[in-house]
Structure 1
Amino acid sequence: MQSLGQILVAAGIVAIPLLAFSIVAIALIVERTIFWYRVNRRQEKVIKEVLKMYRTDPSLAVEKLERNVDLPMARIFLEALSLEDAEPEELALALDGATQAEIPILKRFSNGFDTIVTISPLLGLLGTVLGLIQSFSALNLGDVGGTKTANVTSGISEALISTAFGLVVALVTLFFANTFRGFYMRQLAMIQEHSAELELLHRRRYKKVLEASYATTTRDR
């Protein structure tokens, strides 16, 4: 069985960028895995507690959000609730604007993943072409079975290994990229669901405040 070094040597010059892409992909995968683990483990529980607190005391809900400001949805809610005496329409606009600001964070490195998935197979194909060129350049019809046969074998090996290397890098990266994309879509749906719930609670509270204010004004008259 060939060692990693032997495989890289056999893959030829394209092994260098492919190895670089694989290292970058691993770093991005680790970062996104840590990010989504933290979000998926804590966020839904925190937001449900915040909505429950908001029904009784909005100030407690804000304090809870401030303690969990590392979570995307906590930042969205905190941005909206920081508005003083906001009307329901203003709160809805604030939630929408804060959500749009969080989307790049949720989709972070998606372009990097797409680039690696697209370019890695092409680099593998380039290695295939270079390997075949080496094979044909070493081939001599008058020397079949001679000393140049080793060069032909080496060229074919380079062609096959570089292709396999590029496909492995692309497939592994694609798997994790699709997984993170699924987390993003789920998170977006959750943000929309809980934002609508917060808007409804705020609208009810705002209506009660208006009714109380109107009753006080009428009584004073």
Structure 2
Amino acid sequence: HSLASAFNAGGPFMWVILVVFAIACTVVIDRLIFYFIICKPNGVMLAAEVAKALNSDDVEKARKIVSKQRAPMNILMQTAIERFSSGMSFEDVQKGVDQSAIREMPRMTQRLNYLSLFANIGTLLGLLGTIVGLQAMFGSLAAVEAEKKAAMLASGIAQAMNATAFGLIVAVPCMVFYTSLYNKQQQITRDLDEAIVQLLDYLEKKLAAGKK
């Protein structure tokens, strides 16, 4: 009951901040699923499995290995495998991987920056709600008896500060999740780069050996 009263006392900006919080939650859930379920950081192991399959000339097995997930790394490897199995040169294989990377890499950072934006919006909306609340309170003080002004002023300030408090309650988790997810994204990107370089290095050597 007290939480509901505090929320209602914060004014209309509390609802706007709540909407921002709800959108931020959907972004966090989306990124958690993408980084921890779709993009598992096992790139070097995956590249080694693909290389082992291709070393046995088992292209179909290599395809199955990378088709288990639709992560950017798997799609880049799939492109390399398809071009390699089509008899293309290493330059064409590398070109295809680069083209796929242009399409797939934006998925790594997609919507992540929104969390930083929502943190700032939540804080600013909270301050704006407090300012508007204080303005309304001071405007109504003129019609109040002198002996009641002090009590009304203290109550009004406390209520107006609810908006700032709620804005910060939304902003702090947004920044914590943004930092954590950004670090996870960097880790996955490094893993992807290492795995793709390892696979391309193997394909280059295999294609060079095939020409001899």
Q: TM-score, normalised by structure 2?
A: 0.87
Write out per-residue CA displacement over residues 69-110 of structure 1, whole angstroms, 9 at most, x where no aligned residue.
Answer: 422211111022212212222222222221221122111212
SS in 2 for 1:85: coil
Q: After the TM superposition, which of the residue ranges 36-45 and 20-29 deviates more from structure 2?
A: 36-45
- 1:18 corresponding residue in structure 2: 17
Q: Would the alpha carbon gap of residues 23 and 157 (structure 1) be closer, same or farther in structure 2, given more than 3 Å must change?
A: same
- 2:92 corresponding residue in structure 1: 90
Q: Would the alpha carbon gap of residues 207 and 195 (structure 1) be closer, same or farther in structure 2, given more than 3 Å must change?
A: same
- In 2, the alpha carbon distance for the partners of 1:170 and 1:55 equals 51
- 1:123 corresponding residue in structure 2: 125
- 2:184 corresponding residue in structure 1: 183
Q: Larger C-alpha radius of gyration, 1 or 2? A: 1
Q: Does the 8 Å CA contact 2:122/2:168 hold for their aligned counterparts?
A: yes
- 2:75 corresponding residue in structure 1: 75
Q: How many residues align?
A: 208
1:51 aligns with 2:45: no
Once the two structures are TM-superposed, the CA of residue 142 in structure 1 deviates from its matched residue by 8.1
Q: Does the 8 Å CA contact 1:127/1:158 hold for their aligned counterparts?
A: no
- In 2, the alpha carbon distance for the partners of 1:169 and 1:179 equals 16
1:164-203 map, 5 Å: 164-203=165-204
Once the two structures are TM-superposed, the CA of residue 206 in structure 1 deviates from its matched residue by 0.5
Q: Which letter maps to 1:78?
A: Q
Q: Which letter maps to 1:130?
A: V
SS in 2 for 1:82: helix
- 1:215 corresponding residue in structure 2: none
- In 2, the alpha carbon distance for the partners of 1:96 and 1:197 equals 15
Q: Does the 8 Å CA contact 2:130/2:161 hold for their aligned counterparts?
A: yes
- 2:33 corresponding residue in structure 1: 34
Once the two structures are TM-superposed, the CA of residue 27 in structure 1 deviates from its matched residue by 1.6
Identity of aligned residues (%): 23
Once the two structures are TM-superposed, the CA of residue 122 in structure 1 deviates from its matched residue by 0.8
Q: TM-score, normalised by structure 1?
A: 0.83
Q: Which letter maps to 1:11?
A: G
- In 2, the alpha carbon distance for the partners of 1:160 and 1:51 equals 61
Query: How large is the Cα RMSD of the aligned pairs?
Result: 2.3
- In 2, the alpha carbon distance for the partners of 1:58 and 1:120 equals 54
Once the two structures are TM-superposed, the CA of residue 198 in structure 1 deviates from its matched residue by 0.9
Once the two structures are TM-superposed, the CA of residue 16 in structure 1 deviates from its matched residue by 0.9
Q: After the TM superposition, which of the residue ranges 164-173 and 132-141 deviates more from structure 2?
A: 132-141
- In 2, the alpha carbon distance for the partners of 1:57 and 1:154 equals 78
Higher relative contact order (CA 8 A, sep 6+): 2
SS in 1 for 2:189: helix
